[in-house]
Amino acid sequence: MKKSSAEAAIQGANPKPNAFRQFLAQWDLQLLVLPGIILLFIFSYLPIYGVVMAFQEYKIGDVVGASQWVGFRWFIELFKTRELPGIIRNTLVISILNLTIGFVMPIIFAIFLNELRVAPIKKTVQTISYLPHFISWTVCALLLFDLLGTDGSLTEMLVTLHILPEKVNFFQKGEWFWGVALISNIWKELGWNAIIYVSAIAGIDAEMYEAADIDGATRAQKMWHITVKSIKPTIILLLIMNVGGVLNANFDQIMMLTKQMTNSFLTPYAQVIDTYSYRMGLALMRFSYGSAVGLLKSVINFILLLTANKIADLAGETALV
C-alpha cells in the first residue's frame, strides 16, 4: 500500500535518528561514561567466569575452568551440613530486620527532615546524619566496643537509669547481637540512605502543599497524603532492589563486630551465608565449596528480585522493567 503524501512529508520532517551519529555527536559524554563501563566490566563481569569453580575441585595453581569437574557435589554437601539451619536463620533475621525497620527509618527521617522550617538547623542535621557513613566498620566496631563493653559509657548510663540491673558486656550476649547489628547499621547509614528520599521530596510541587493548606489539611495529613504518596514510586523501586539483596547481610559489619568471627559468644547468632562462605572458601581454603555457597545465594537473590519486581508490576506499581 502506497503512503500518502502527508505521511511521506511527516517522515521526511522527522527522520529516524541514526544511533551511530548520535553517539558521535555525544562523544564527550561517552568518554565520561567509558571509565565506569570499564570498571564495571573488569570487577563485575569478568569474575563471573569464576563460578565454574563451584562445580569443580579447584586447587591452588589450577587454571580456572581446568580443574576436575564434580558436578553438584558441593551443593549437596552444603544442604547436608548441620550448620545450615542456624546460618539461614541468622541471615534471614538480620536481613529482614534491615529490610523492614532499617528500610523504613530513612524514609521517616527524610519526611521529618523535610518538615524542619529553620534552614540552618535542617542543614546541620543533614550533615551530622551523613557523617557516620564515611566511617569504616572497623572504626565503628572499636567505638561500639568502648560504648557497650562492661565498663562502657553507654552501659554505665543504662545501669544508672535502671534499664539494666547490672553492668554487662553486650558482646558477650549472643541473643542481643541482632539488635546491636540493627541499631548500629541504622545509626551508620540513616542519613546516607535518606539522601534519595530527600531528593525525591524536593521535587514535589509546592502548590500541592498550598492547596492542602487552603483545604485545612493538618501537617500529618500533608505528610501522608502528599509527601509519602508522592515519593511512593521511589520507595517501591528501592524496596524491590532491597528484596533482591535480602540474603546479603552486612558482611563488613558482622566481621568487625565479631572480631573476624572469633567471638564464640556471638558466632551462633552472627554466622550468616556471607561469613560462612568466607570462612569455608578463604580461611579453610575450600575454594570450590565457598564458591558454591556464594553462587547459591546469588541465584536465590536473583529469583527474589524478579519475584518482587513481578508482584509490583502486577499490582500496578512502579517496577524496574
| pLDDT for residue 1 is more than 50 | no
The pLDDT tens digits for 227-239 are 999 999 899 989 9
Of all residues in the chain, the percent with pLDDT exceeding 70 is 93
Determine how many CB atoms are found less than 10 A away from the CB of residue 285. 11
Which grid coordinates belong to 128? 551530622
240, 320 in Cβ contact below 8 A?
A: yes
Helices (H), the chain: 5-13, 19-25, 27-40, 73-80, 84-115, 119-130, 137-148, 153-160, 177-202, 206-214, 219-222, 229-230, 232-243, 251-257, 267-270, 273-278, 287-314
pLDDT in tens, 56-107: 998 888 887 788 999 999 999 999 999 999 999 999 999 999 999 999 999 9
> Domains of the chain, with CATH numbers?
89-314 (1.10.3720.10)
pLDDT at 294 over 50: yes
Asked if 56 contacts 288 with a C-beta cutoff of 8 angstroms, the reply is: yes
- As a whole number of angstroms, the distance between CA 116 and CA 123 comes to 10
Report the distance separating Cα 54 and Cα 281, nearest Å. 11
- More reliable by pLDDT, 5 or 196: 196
| pLDDT for the residue numbered 5 | 54
Any idea what DSSP says for residue 305? Answer: H
Res 262: pLDDT = 87
Task: Give me the chain's average pLDDT, please.
Answer: 88
259: left (phi over 0), alpha (psi -120 to 50) or beta: left
**Contact indicator for 106, 195 with CB cutoff of 8 Å:** no
- Residues 184 and 136: their CA atoms lie apart, in Å, by 12
Tens digits of per-residue pLDDT, 117-137?
Answer: 888 999 999 999 999 999 999
**pLDDT tens, position by position, 154-209:** 999 999 998 888 899 999 999 999 999 999 999 999 999 999 999 999 999 989 99
pLDDT at position 18, please? 76
pLDDT at 21: 83
How far from chain centre, in Å, is Cα 42?
A: 22
Split at pLDDT 50, 70, 90, the class of 110 is very high
